[in-house]
Structure 1
Amino acid sequence: MADLEYTVENGIGTILLNRPQRKNAFTLDMLDQWAEALRSARIDPGVRVVRVTGTGGAFCAGVDLDDFAEITSTLGRQEVLHNRVHRVAAAAMELDKPLIAAVDGVAVGAGMDMALACDIRLASTRARFSEAYVRVGLIPGDGGAHLLPRIVGQARALELLWTGRFVEAEEALDLGIVLSLHSPDDLSAAVDDLCRRLADGPPVAIRAIKRLVRNGERADFMTSLSMVAAEQAVVQSTRDSAEAAAAFHSKRTPTFVGE
């Protein structure tokens, strides 16, 4: 099996991190494949939702330092950060389809940042999170300083970023880092159920909702209402909108085609 696998089945794209011997720490090649998978999912009409998960009881331990060891110059490290690592986070932000993380075990450093870049995180009871950069004399390198305050608030984010301490599963739930907790055996089924519900929903409306929520973070209220009006006009013109109305009146389950 490859270190990273991307598959699509019944409208659900799955990015599987598959280096269990290294707790799914990513290599340069994995970064390129990860970004490409997200870009492919964005333009593929057959993909309605994407999930990211890991094998071997871990989500992602961040950068594989052995793979990056030969990059010693400051310029080389900046190039790798900007052109390889950041491309994954950028592709995640550009994806206007639901992006769900299934976190089982550790999500550390850039691995935690990658999870934070997802829209929703479901976790197992053995999940552990850490913005561990400061413990090796570094700063958050993959969006953590931007994403974490928006989830837990500035004061708590600073405490976690400054200390690099581990957040256990129950605390992660309390802080809103994860949406729900499940036993390790039940996590996959819970994520499958959420992804299936989203994939079966009206994709044009779901993508519009995500854009409105993301854009609303940096827009004032009246601008946000203007964006809603523009998006609503598009959504109401779709076949899916007409199907939803017809299904409601006839008391049946709608079938959405993405048009």
Structure 2
Amino acid sequence: MHRCIGTPLFPSVTGSDKPVVSERRGAVMLIGINRPEARNAVNLETAQRLTEELSAFDQDNSLHVAVLYGLGGSFCAGFDLKELSQGSVSLKLEQDVSSAPGPMGPSRMRLSKPLIAAVSGFAVAGGLELALLADMRVVEESAIMGVFCRRFGVPLIDGGTVRLPQLIGLSRALDMILTGRPVKAQEALAFGLANRVVPDGQALQLALELAEQISAFPQLCLRADRNSAYHAVFDSASFTQAMQYEVDHGVPVVLAEAVTGARQFRDGMGRGGTFSKSKL
């Protein structure tokens, strides 16, 4: 059951002066950008904290899924250009993507476990790139996504030109990249940019529910399949190479998890394709 619109999901972080807040819910880690006065635009401190939080999540074996969201009604409006324009930030752009975080923080990371983005308000410019870091995006009806930095001559250097074409195809990606136009939730759903569209105020709750359901699956198998999909899209030089990677990383899971799963199926679990405890 979804929480009512306007009901605070995390009252414990209300009023926090930290630019990034986190909370653990069982095997799920919730990570929130907390700069609502700037529509959660990311400055250097926020970028560092996001990188630290997602790195800690990725290294913690007891955590299975993370949810990234923005407090105060907006996901993220990109990098804090106002702060940059005032000369209060010395932004050193590291061009070796393997040696340092991106300007938005974790955008250059390849996480080993699922990340879900709960998108409300604006997810634009670098904020769109953070949303693209996620495996799935739960998007509220009034949310806006887009390459708004097009208007100011700010390039996509946090993975936008890499991930977006793979997610929605080159033609649609170029439409967004070249025009910088706003993309609403239903169009994002048609593009495949949004995975779920929900009423305003419900993205975080549904993202948490999805995270909890995903975290209940056998994790070795889930991660092997997830990582093989990423490898096939971004790293494989050929179909044969991708197939070999899938087999090499899938076969060990058969003995580790699949035999037990087969016994559960034999004993009646999941017959007819049912998910008795899932609303995926």
Q: Same fold (TM over 0.5)?
A: yes
Q: What is the distance in 1 between the residues matched to 2:160 and 2:33? A: 20
The answer (yes or no) to whether the contact 1:71–1:77 under 8 Å persists in 2 is no
Aligned residue in 2 for 1:124: 140
Offset, 1:6: 2.2
TM-score calculated relative to the size of structure 1: 0.89
Matched, 1:138 2:154: yes
Q: CA deviation at 1:133?
A: 1.9
The answer (yes or no) to whether the contact 1:104–1:123 under 8 Å persists in 2 is yes
Residues 108 and 159 of structure 2 are in contact (CA less than 8 Å); yes or no, is this contact kept in structure 1? no
Match of residue 176 from structure 1: 192
Query: Residue 246 in 1 paired to residue 263 in 2?
Result: yes
Match of 2:246 among 207, 228, 241: 228
Aligned to 2:93: 78
Which structure shows the higher helix fraction?
Answer: 1
Q: Which runs of 5+ in 1 are unaligned?
A: 255-259
Q: State how far apart, in whole Å, the 1-side matches of 2:214 and 2:232 are.
A: 21
Task: Give the match for residue 171 of structure 2.
Answer: 155
- CA displacement 1:210-242 (0-9 Å, x = unmatched): 11000001322111221122112221231x334
- The 5 Å alignment of 1:210-229 reads 210-217=226-233, 218-219=235-236, 220-229=238-247
**How far is the alpha carbon of 1:189 from its aligned partner?**
2.7
Deviation at 1:109, TM superposition (A): 0.4
Give distance in 2, aligned partners of 1:23 and 1:72: 18
CA distance in 2, matches of 1:81, 1:151: 24
User: 2:32·2:70 contact (CA, 8 Å) conserved in 1?
Assistant: yes
Aligned length: 249
What is aligned with 2:217?
201
2:32 aligned counterpart, secondary structure = strand
110, 113, 118: which is aligned to 2:126?
110
1:21 pairs with 2:37: yes
Give the Å deviation of 1:146.
1.0
Identity within the alignment, %: 27
Deviation of 1:200 after TM superposition, in Å, equals 0.3
* Distance in 1, Cα, partners of 2:47 & 2:176: 25
CA 1:200 to 1:29, structure 2 compared with 1: closer, same or farther past 3 Å? same
Distance 1:229 1:203, change over 3 A: same
> Where does residue 55 of structure 1 map in the other structure?
71
Contact 1:135 1:163 in 2 (8 A): no
Structure 1 pair 186–134 and aligned structure 2 pair: CA distance change class (3 A): closer
Q: Say which is worse superposed, 46-55 or 133-142, in terms of deviation.
A: 133-142
Tell me if the contact between 1:12 and 1:51 (Cα under 8 Å) persists in the aligned partners.
yes
Task: Show the counterpart of 2:13.
Answer: none
Whether 2:250 is the aligned partner of 1:237: answer no
- Give the letter for the 1:29 counterpart: E
1:85, distance to aligned residue in structure 2 (A): 2.6
Moved more, 116-125 or 245-254: 245-254
Q: Return the letter of the residue paired with 1:236.
A: V
Structure 1 233/81 Cα, relative in aligned 2: closer, same or farther at 3 Å? closer
- CA distance, structure 2, for counterparts of residue 241 and residue 190 of structure 1: 29
